[in-house]
Amino acid sequence: MGKKIAVLMGGKSAEKEISLMTGEQIFNALAKNGHNAVKVNLDENAWEKIKKENVDLVFIALHGRWGEDGTVQGMLDIMDIPYTGSGILASALGMNKLIAKKLFSYENINTPLFLAISKKDYKDENKLCLFFEEAKEKLGSPFVVKPVSEGSAIGINIVNNKGEFLEAAKKAFDFDNHILLEQFIKGKEVTVGILGNDDPVDFPVLEIVPKKDFYDYEAKYSPGGSEHIVPARISGSQQEKCRDFALRAHNALGCRVFSRVDLIVSEEGVYVLEVNTIPGMTEFSLYPEAAKAMGIEFSDLIERIIELSLQERKTGTKTPSLKN
């Protein structure tokens, strides 16, 4: 019997358009599977509408801030409404690349060397210039500049010199008050999907071949922007290491239900870049493509996510109900 499910989509993050694409795909799959689905845009009326609809589950199709960072999860916990994916803490940790990388390092999961700076500490150009020299010494050249809490490669640039760094830092600060400077590792970009709760399974390693220098926003979401190869063209031992690191990174953050872990495979080794707690579900997205390579069609994948999410919300630690 079908369930009443609200697809929470849109929002106001820099990834709003991707969220709408993801939400549409999920909504269509839910309707195909016989569920009573309703689209809900994340605005000031969203919570009232979700409560009025008396849904069995909220399928979170949001990306970026105010959706993938634990804020929406916290609100739904307070409302005592089940939702898909990870809870508050894992969502917040996955969104904050700096804290996530510190956890990876603590758990002995390879991740590129990194430094971080905040807007309040580096408001003037002279300080940024001094920091560029420090970063070049510690991270090598080129290195990567990215906002700490954004996804879909928004605000990311690879810099080779001081001029490029100053421009990239200022652009990254437009998206976040903190930015991450990361060692650039030349290699194959790959990703591993994870599905499950207590005993999660890993999908085949998928290789991403961007048409440009790196897998940026355009490469992710433009037709022909990148080529995806499953399984990745890496050795058996490298594939095993990718899947091991992906599962360990997923578990290190406390992720539940599903995630997608992005990695770089170089001659020196395998490195985890980040964990996406709400992977994209558009027609160009990596997670459903990797699931399909494992024999899981999109509609079946949606059903598994629903089942695992209801299981997690039922057995996991719940917020005490505020109802009388």
What's at 119, amino acid-wise? K
254 in active site: no
Dig out the tokens for 80 from the structure. Answer: 């005592």
Q: What are phi and psi of 226, to 5 degrees?
A: -155, 160
Please pick, among 83, 215, 217, 221, the residue that the annotation labels catalytic: 221
Please pick, among 19, 86, 96, 152, the residue that the annotation labels catalytic: 152
276 in active site: yes
What is each CA distance from 28 to 61, 178, 261, in whole angstroms?
13, 37, 26
- Kindly give the pairing relationship between strand 114-118 and strand 36-41: unpaired
By three-state DSSP, how is residue 73 classified? helix
Please pick, among 193, 280, 312, 313, the residue that the annotation labels catalytic: 280
Please pick, among 276, 285, 287, 289, the residue that the annotation labels catalytic: 276
Please pick, among 10, 13, 15, 19, the residue that the annotation labels catalytic: 15
Please pick, among 68, 207, 262, 312, the residue that the annotation labels catalytic: 262
227 in active site: no
Task: List the one residue out of 13, 51, 17, 58 whose CA is nearest residue 35.
Answer: 58
Please pick, among 243, 256, 260, 313, the residue that the annotation labels catalytic: 260
What's at 270, amino acid-wise? V
216 in active site: no
106 in active site: no
94 in active site: no
Please pick, among 77, 176, 182, 274, the residue that the annotation labels catalytic: 274
152 in active site: yes
Query: What's the gap between Cα 90 and its chain centre?
Result: 11
260 in active site: yes
Q: Enumerate the active-site residues.
A: 15, 152, 221, 260, 262, 274, 276, 280
